[in-house]
Amino acid sequence: MKPEQTVTALEEDLNALNKKIEKLGKLAIAQFSGAIDGMATFDTEHLNSIISQDKLLDDLELSINDDAFLLISLRAPVVTDLRRVIVAIKISSILERVGDYAKNIAKRSKILAEQGSDTIPGVNIGRMGQLAEEMLTEVINAYLTRDVSKAIKIRDRDLEIDYMYTAFYREILTSMARNPEQISNGTHLLFIAKNIERIGDYATGIAEQIYFLIHGTTLEDDRPKADPLTSSNKET
Amino acid sequence: MNNNNTIQLSKQDNSKIVLSGLSRRRRKDRRLKLYGRLAVATAVTFLIFLLIAIGSKGIPGFFQYYVTLEINFDRERLDPMGDLSVDSLYSGESEALVTEAIYSKLKPQGRSQKKAVKKLVSKGGGEKIRDRILKNPKLLGTTSKIRFPVDDDVDSFLRGYIDRNVPESDRRLNDFQINYIDELVSKNLISYKLSEYFFFGSASRDPELAGIKGAVIGSLMSLAICFIISFPLGVAAAVYLEEIAKKNRLTEFIEININNLAAVPSVVFGILGLAVFIGLFGLPRSVPLVGGMVLALMTLPTIIISSRVSIGAVPPSVKDAALGIGASKMQTIFHHVVPLAMPGMLTGTIIGMARALGETAPLLMIGMVAFIVDIPGSVTDPGTVLPVQIFMWADFAERMFVQKTSAATIILLLFLFLMNAIAIILRKKLERRW
Amino acid sequence: MDGLSKKPLNPDSLIEATLENPRMSARNVDVFYGENKAIDNVTLDVGKREVTSLIGPSGCGKSTFLRCFNRMNDTIDICRVKGTILLDGNDIYDASMDVVPLRAKVGMVFQKPNPFPKSIFDNVAYGPRIHGLSENKDHLRNIVEKSLKRAGLWSEVKDRLHEPGTGLSGGQQQRLCIARAIAVGPEVILMDEPCSALDPIATARIEELISELKAEYSIIIVTHSMQQAARVSQRTAYFHLGRLIEVGKTSEVFTKPKNSQTEAYISGKIG
C-alpha cells in the first residue's frame, strides 16, 4: 500500500474484525489459563467466575460472525481480503470452543475439589495444561503477527501433548483398575486431560488457518498424530 | 475545521451577499432582454417597410389596363391563304381590324384624331388576334369581344401618373387622347385585370407587352445545368476529401482554397467563363448552357463545404459498425455515410442554388444581356435569366417598366423563398435519428 | 502489514498465455499510436468455444489490443501494428490478407450499441447481403430469423421486423448488434465493453447470452468490471500500461493470482 493512500472502508472493517479476534484470543487464553490454575488450587470462587465468564466469549463470537457477514455483503472482498474474513470466522469459532472446553475443565475441577480428591500421583496434568496454554498463546501471537513459520512449528508441538495424553490415559486406566473407588475422579481427570488435548488440537487448527490465510492453500494433513486409537501400542 | 487565518464565510453571510446582488443582476437581465427585443423589433420593422415598399410598387405590376373591342373575325382578311398557317395569318390584316374596331367605338375625325385614337391600343393587338385564331379557328367568321392591352402611356394615365392639369406640351398624351380615354372609361370599355403579358409574354420594347416567361425559362434552364454539373461533382469531391484522401499538406491546401473560393466575388467566375468557356472552348455566348456552367463553378465550393460538414457529422459509430461487419470502404461510404449525410448535402445544395438563382454579374459577363424575344427552346438557344431581365428593365424609363421591374423582383423573391422553404422541409423530412 | 508474499513480475504469471489448440494467436504484438507505444510485446492465445476476458485499468490498452484481432486499427491512420496474429494458421496482417472477409470471420460488438439506421430486418440482413451469403429471399429471411433467435431477440421483434432498429431499447439494440454480427457466421466474436452502456438487467441478459454463445463461437470480451469477467469468462488476461501481466483460468486468477499487481487490481487497490 502506498504511504499516501488513505485507509479504505474495507481496510477499516478488516482491522476492526482483527481487533475482535485479538480480544477473543486473549479471553480464551485467560479462561484456559484460569481453568488450569483452578485445577491446581481448587479455588472454588475462581472456578465459578471462569464458568460464568464463558458467556463473554460466546457473545463475542456471535458479534464477530455478524461483522463478518456484513463485511462480505457490503464490501464484496476478494482474494486475500476474502481469506482474511473467512479465516476470522473459523478462528473465532475455534476460540469459542476453546472457551467451552476451558469452562468444562473448570466445572470438572470444581467437582474434584468438592470431592476432596488428591490428584492422581505420577501425572502432571498441570504440565500438559501449561504446554497447551503455551501453544495457544503462541499461535494467537502468530496470527496477529502473521508469522507462518511460527504457526507451522506450533503444529509440530501438538505431538508432545498427544504423547503426554496417551501416557496419562494409560496411567489413569491402570490406576482406576487398581483402585475402583478412584473411578469417578479418574473419569473426570480423563475428561479434563482430553479437553486439554483437544485444545492443543485447536491450536493446531488455528495454525492451519494462518497458513491458509497467507498462502491460499491448505497445509497437507500428514501432520504427526499420536492419539491412543491410532497408536501401534495398544494396551487393554 | 476552523482555519484561523482566512475569513470563513458562514452560510448566512453567503446568502446575504447573493441576495443583495440579486436586484442588480435582475435589472441587468431585464435591460439585456429589452435590447434584444428592440433589435428584433427594429429588424422586423425594416423588413415590413421593405416588403411594403416592394409590394406597393410591384403588385400593381401584375395587373394592367385593357380595352374591350368588338372584332369582326373576317375570314378573307385574316387568313388570306385560307390554310390557317402562320404565314397566312401574318400576311393578313389583324392589325387593321384592331384599328377599325377602336375607330368604330370612338369615331375620330381627321388625321390627327385618328392618329391619336390609333395610339391608344397596344401594337400587340394584332398578335393577340392571331393567337386567338390559332387557338380557336372557329372564331373566324364570328364577331367577338376581345380585350386588348392599352398602350403603356394610357396605362400610366389611368393609374394617375400622367396629370391632365400639366400643360399639353409637357405630357405624353395630348388632350384629344385624354378625352377619348375618358369616353372609353364612361362607356365601361376599360378594365383592370391580371396581366397575362407579364406572366406569359417575353422581352419586348413595349412595356405593356413585356413579360418574364423567357427569363424564367432561361433561369430554370441555367439552374438545371448548374445542378447537373455541381451536385454530383460537389458530392463526389466532398466524399473524396473527407473519407478517402489521406490527411496531409496537400489536402489541407485544397481545403483552404475551396473555402477561399466560396468567398470570391461571383463576377470573377463570369470573367473566367468568358475567357475559358466562350473564348477557349468556343461555346456560344448568352446561352443557358454556359450560364449554367458559370453558376456551377460558383456553387461548387458551397456544395463541397456543406457536404463535407454533413459527412463529417455522421457519427463514427456508424462507420465502425459497417466496417466491423465486413463492408468495404466504398460500401461503407455509399451504403451508410452518404445516405445519412444526404439531408445536409441537399440543404446546402438548395441554398447554393438559391444564391445562383439571384446572380446577375457573372451572367452579364458572359453576355446574357441580349434582348431575347424568343423563349429559349434548348440550352444552346440564346436566353436570359430573371435577375438580368430585371436589371435590363430597370434601365428603361417608362413607368410601366418600373412597375414590372418591381413585380419581377417580387417573383424572384418568391422563388428564393420557395427554394429555401423546400430546403427546410426536405431537411426535416429526411432527418434520420441515429 | 499483511505479510503477503510480494512476487515480482515473473514468467509464471504468463505460462498460460499459449494454448494447445487456439482459435487465434497473437505473438509479440506491438501497437504504436504515432510515437506512443500502446501495446508492448504481447503474446496471447484465444481458445475455441470459450470466453476470454481482457481486464485492466483504463488506458491499459485492452481495447487497442482487441481491435488488432479484426484489424479495426487499420482505420486509424497513425496506428501501426507489429507482430503476428494468426487465425487458423494464417497471419491476418499479411499483405495478401483481405480485410473484408476477415471481418466476417471475426465479428465485433461495440461499447455503445450502434445498429444501422435501417429496419431491424435490414440490420441483420446487411452483412449476409454484402457478403453474398444468401441465395434467395427465403434463405435470407431464414438467416435473419436464426440470428435473431440465437441473440435472444426474436420473440420481442418478430412482429415488427420492419421498424427501425434505433427504436429499440439499449439492451435490445445491443442484442440486435450481436445478431447482426452472428448473421455472417463468424468464428470469433470480439466484444468491447458490450454492457457498459446498459442497465443491470440488460447487462445480465447479455451475460447469459454470452454464456450460451460460447458453445459455438470463440469470444474475447474487454470489460471494466471484474465481476463481469469472473461471471462470464473461462480465461482471464490482465493488462497494465500496455503489457500483459498475467493470464490464466478465471477461477485461478480471481482466487490465487500469481502476480501481486494482478491481485492489487482485482482487490480494487489500483486502477
Shortest distance between the Cα of C115 and any Cα of chain A, in A, equals 36
The verdict on a CB contact (< 8 Å) between C75 and B320 is yes
Judging contacts by C-beta atoms under 8 Å, the chain C residues touching residue A78 are: 226, 254, 266-267
Q: For the CA atoms of B228, B234, B235, B237, what is the dihedral angle to 10 degrees? A: 140
pLDDT exceeds 90 at position A120: no
What is the edge-to-edge ordering of all strands in the sheet holding B63-72?
B143-149, B63-72, B190-194
Please tell me the distance from the alpha carbon of residue C81 to that of residue B348, in angstroms, as a whole number: 40
Which whole-number Å values give the CA distances from B14 to A179, B4, C107, in the listed order? 93, 18, 58
The verdict on a CB contact (< 8 Å) between A216 and C255 is yes
Alpha carbon of residue B259 to chain centroid:
27
Judging contacts by C-beta atoms under 8 Å, the chain C residues touching residue A76 are: 227
Radius of gyration of chain B (CA): 32
Reported as half-sphere exposure (CB side, CA atoms, 13 A), residue A106 has a value of 26
Contact in structure between C116 and C165 (CB atoms under 8 Å): yes
Cell of B307: 457536404
Which residues are paired to B68 by β-bridges? Answer: B147
Average of per-residue pLDDT across C91-101 = 93
Contact in structure between B322 and B293 (CB atoms under 8 Å): no
Q: For the CA atoms of C97, C98, C100, C103, what is the dihedral angle to 10 degrees? A: 0
Cell of C51: 470466453
**Facing C266 at nearest CB: one of A78, A147, A148:** A78
Residue C255 lies in a domain: yes
The verdict on a CB contact (< 8 Å) between C77 and B247 is yes
Using the 8-state DSSP alphabet, how is residue B285 labeled?
T
Write down all domains in chain A, each with its CATH number in brackets: 9-215 (1.20.58.220)
Q: Is the pTM of this model over 0.90?
A: no
Quick one: which of B43, B23, B48, B55 has its CA closest to B414? B55
Average of per-residue pLDDT across C90-96 = 92
Cell 395610339: give the residue. Answer: B119
Return the amino acid letter for C271.
G
Using the 8-state DSSP alphabet, how is residue C154 labeled?
H
Cell of B328: 468495404
Please tell me the distance from the alpha carbon of residue B81 to that of residue A81, in angstroms, as a whole number: 117
Q: What is the largest CA-CA distance in chain C?
A: 69
Alpha carbon of residue C229 to chain centroid:
12
Cell of B360: 446577375
Quick one: which of C214, C123, C104, C140 has its CA closest to C175? C123
Judging contacts by C-beta atoms under 8 Å, the chain C residues touching residue B321 are: 110, 114-116, 177, 180
Check residue A2 and give its pLDDT: 52
pLDDT digits (tens, 9 = 90+) for C170-218: 999 999 999 999 999 999 999 999 999 999 999 999 999 999 999 999 9
Q: Which helix (H) or strand (E) holds C42?
A: strand C36-47
**Facing A80 at nearest CB: one of C226, C227, C267:** C267
Q: Dihedral sign for Cα B163, B166, B167, B169, please.
A: negative
Q: Dihedral sign for Cα C31, C37, C43, C44, please.
A: negative
Residue C271 lies in a domain: no
Q: For B140, phi and psi rounded to 5 degrees?
A: -60, 130
* Regions of chain B with pLDDT less than 70: 1-6, 370, 432-434
For chain B, what is the total number of helices (H) and then of strands (E)? 19, 3
Please tell me the distance from the alpha carbon of residue C242 to that of residue A50, in angstroms, as a whole number: 62
Q: For the CA atoms of A68, A71, A72, A78, what is the dihedral angle to 10 degrees? A: -110
Task: Out of A169-183, B315-329, C20-34, C247-261, pick the least confident.
Answer: A169-183
- Assess C104–B contact: CB distance below 8 Å, yes or no: yes
**Is residue C41 classed as helix, strand or coil in its secondary structure?**
strand
Q: Dihedral sign for Cα A191, A194, A195, A196, please.
A: positive
Check residue A236 and give its pLDDT: 41
Quick one: which of C185, C183, C172 has its CA closest to C123? C183
- The domain locations on chain B are 4-59, 62-200, 213-430
Judged by 3 or more CB pairs under 8 A, whether A touches B is no
Question: Residue A101: is it exposed, middle or buried by C-beta count within 10 angstroms (0-12/13-18/19+)?
Answer: buried
Check residue C10 and give its pLDDT: 59
Quick one: which of C83, C28, C94, C69 has its CA closest to C217? C69
The total of structural domains in chain C comes to: 1
**Facing C114 at nearest CB: one of B317, B328, B331:** B317
Please tell me the distance from the alpha carbon of residue B334 to that of residue B342, in angstroms, as a whole number: 11
Q: Best of C255, C260, C262, C270 to disrupt the A interface by mutation (most A CBs within 10 Å)?
A: C255
Quick one: which of A169, A174, A172, A173 has its CA closest to A226? A169
Can you give the residue range of the structural domain that contains C244?
2-266
Please tell me the distance from the alpha carbon of residue A189 to that of residue B117, in angstroms, as a whole number: 157
pLDDT exceeds 70 at position C98: yes
Check residue C5 and give its pLDDT: 37
Reported as half-sphere exposure (CB side, CA atoms, 13 A), residue C157 has a value of 31
Judged by 3 or more CB pairs under 8 A, whether C touches B is yes
- pLDDT range class, residue A224, cuts 50, 70, 90: low
Please tell me the distance from the alpha carbon of residue B393 to that of residue B81, in angstroms, as a whole number: 39
Assigned superfamily of B213-430: MetI-like (1.10.3720.10)
Contact in structure between B133 and B73 (CB atoms under 8 Å): yes
Q: Dihedral sign for Cα B164, B169, B175, B181, please.
A: negative
Reported as half-sphere exposure (CB side, CA atoms, 13 A), residue A110 has a value of 16
Highest mean pLDDT among A168-172, B87-91, C34-38: C34-38
Please tell me the distance from the alpha carbon of residue C136 to that of residue A125, in angstroms, as a whole number: 93
pLDDT exceeds 90 at position A168: no
**Is residue A11 classed as helix, strand or coil in its secondary structure?**
helix
Contact in structure between C19 and C45 (CB atoms under 8 Å): yes
pLDDT exceeds 50 at position A234: no
pLDDT digits (tens, 9 = 90+) for C69-89: 999 999 998 999 999 999 988
